Amino acid sequence: MRRKRIGTSVPSDISQAAAADPSIDQRGRIMDVAAHLFRTKGYSGTSTREISSLIGIQKASLYHHIDSKEALLYELCVDATQRILDRATVIAAENQEPIIKLRALMRQHAITMLDSQDRHATMLIELLHGSLTGERRAAVDSLRDKYQSVLYSAIRECQQVGDVRTDWNARDLTLAALSLLNWTVFWFDDQGRLTKSQVADLLTSTFLDGVKDQH
Amino acid sequence: MRRKRIGTSVPSDISQAAAADPSIDQRGRIMDVAAHLFRTKGYSGTSTREISSLIGIQKASLYHHIDSKEALLYELCVDATQRILDRATVIAAENQEPIIKLRALMRQHAITMLDSQDRHATMLIELLHGSLTGERRAAVDSLRDKYQSVLYSAIRECQQVGDVRTDWNARDLTLAALSLLNWTVFWFDDQGRLTKSQVADLLTSTFLDGVKDQH
DNA sequence: GTCTATAAAGAGATAGAC
DNA sequence: GTCTATCTCTTTATAGAC
């Protein structure tokens, strides 16, 4: 198998649709189905047989497209992390007020994450579970670190111009922001009451303003 | 094997210490070791052999103490959820100002969760992964629902007396609170820079006041 | 690019001795 | 309460035909 590219041609993350859609190539289909199964059953709780079965091929045929189960997980994690880092880098480079940039960074984090919910949920959990090892683990960690630096710098900058409180340091506030944002990927329901945009508003508004009535 | 009790005699959650401590009975030791392995490697990524090996017995000997691997997971999840619900119920019943109660509820959520970090992290992830089935799943869901109702009511009450903003409904604000609190269990480091109490302050302060400078 | 067949290892769980 | 031995099933991955 040769590595053709990182990620798939479509942002869709839903395995059932992916399994049927003829416009996605087989490799993209495999990644979408795998991401969905990894999120809902866990990486080690998902067998290669289940993946191939949902695609409609034999287990052995899967290995024509992927090197190994772990390599498949790796690509999903890189794709998720890279996507969020790329968009954050663009926002951070804009010539805008710090607080506007911070809000935009948080909004894109929420929305990008929910746009590829299966991949992001998988990435977050499987990094905790140590399912990626060696260089693959290091590569994904590196991308995450870069992203977190971008968010940290944005918060630090807001503090320096007096837009954000300084009784907590930027490092701690970054942890709080990430907590608020990351857990969302595990409960958000695409068919649910709230849209992605509304969730993004809820989270940024809570983080920036808090919930106490200020009047 | 007979079910002796729910949970263990000690709050400790660290497998290495648990495996060595002679003051904990074998059953408590198994639960602590299992919780630690389930958190760090996942439920399906952990073998019964690994658990028994860390205890220092054979795999077969484990089955004198537990019914099955899933029954072991079930007890961990019930223990975690019950603990947080019990303490919340006490706080909610107190005769206090709504905003004081809300703050106390959030603080105890953070601290109770971090006191049994392995169990709570395992519970949160394995519910997502559907590792518990049938009645066991329903029982844990029921406990979680009860707890979330307590938190929801506290937020609702704060809105009614004018302490909390009403442009977001209580249901959404509950989701935001839970997001902020729950993700914490995955990054908190007992040996790290922040104490549990400091983390609890950071989260409650962020949620109630936000990060924007109000001066 | 997909198939059948198979290798080699590991899983959860049980039987029965001590 | 722990042991050895074993049953049965599933796992990831490969070989080689078509």
Distance of C1' in D15 from CA in A51, Å: 22
Burial of A149 per CB tally in 10 Å (0-12, 13-18, 19+): middle
CB–CB of A30/A72 below 8 Å?
A: yes
Taking the C-alpha atoms of residue B185 and residue B195, their distance in angstroms, rounded to an integer, is: 13
Rounded alpha-carbon distances, angstroms, from residue A148 to A136, A142, A153, B78: 19, 10, 9, 34
Determine the Cα–Cα distance for residues A183 and A172; give it in Å rounded to an integer.
17
Which stretch of A1-5, A65-69, A132-136 has the lowest confidence by average pLDDT? A1-5
Is residue B87's pLDDT more than 70?
Answer: yes
Closest residue in A to B124 (Cα) is A186
Segment A116-139 shows an average pLDDT of: 98
**pLDDT beyond 60 at B11:** no
Candidates A211, A212, A213, partner chain B, best to mutate (most B CBs within 10 A): A211
Nucleotides of D under 7 A from a protein CB: 1-5, 10-16
**What's the whole-number average pLDDT of chain A?**
92
**B201 in contact with nucleic chain C (CB within 7 A):** no
Assess whether pLDDT exceeds 80 at residue A155. yes
Percent of the residues in chain B that have a pLDDT greater than 70, as a whole number: 89
Residues of chain B found within 8 Å of residue A182, distances taken between Cβ atoms = 179, 183
Q: What integer pLDDT is reported at residue B24 of this predicted model?
A: 73
pLDDT of residue B21: 60
pLDDT value of position B213: 86
CB contact under 8 A, B209 and A206: no
Across all strands, nucleotide nearest A4 (CA–C1'): C1
Nearest-CB residue to A42 (from B129, B162, B187) = B129
Say whether pTM exceeds 0.85: yes
Long-range contacts of residues B7-16, Cβ cutoff 8 Å, at least 24 apart: B7/B31, B7/B75, B7/B79, B7/B82, B7/B83, B8/B32, B8/B79, B11/B115, B11/B116, B13/B115, B13/B116, B13/B117, B13/B118, B13/B119, B14/B118, B15/B54, B15/B118
Residues A185-202: what's their mean pLDDT? 98
Distance from CA of B69 to the nearest CA of A (A): 14
Between residues A209 and B16, the one the model is more confident about? A209
Predicted local confidence at residue A213, as pLDDT: 86
In this predicted structure, the answer to whether residue B12 has a pLDDT above a threshold of 50 is no
Mean pLDDT score across all residues of chain B? 92
Nearest nt to B65, CA vs C1'?
Answer: D1
Cα(A73)–Cα(A31) distance, integer angstroms: 9
Q: Nearest residue of B to residue A100 by CA position? A: B212
The pLDDT score that the predictor gives to residue A19 is 55
Q: Please tell me the predicted confidence (pLDDT) of residue B206.
A: 98
Q: What is the mean pLDDT of residues A141-165?
A: 98
Predicted confidence (pLDDT) at residue A115 exceeds the cutoff of 80? yes
Token pair in block for residue A127:
């990094």
Q: How far is the CA of A144 from the C1' of C9 (A)?
A: 34
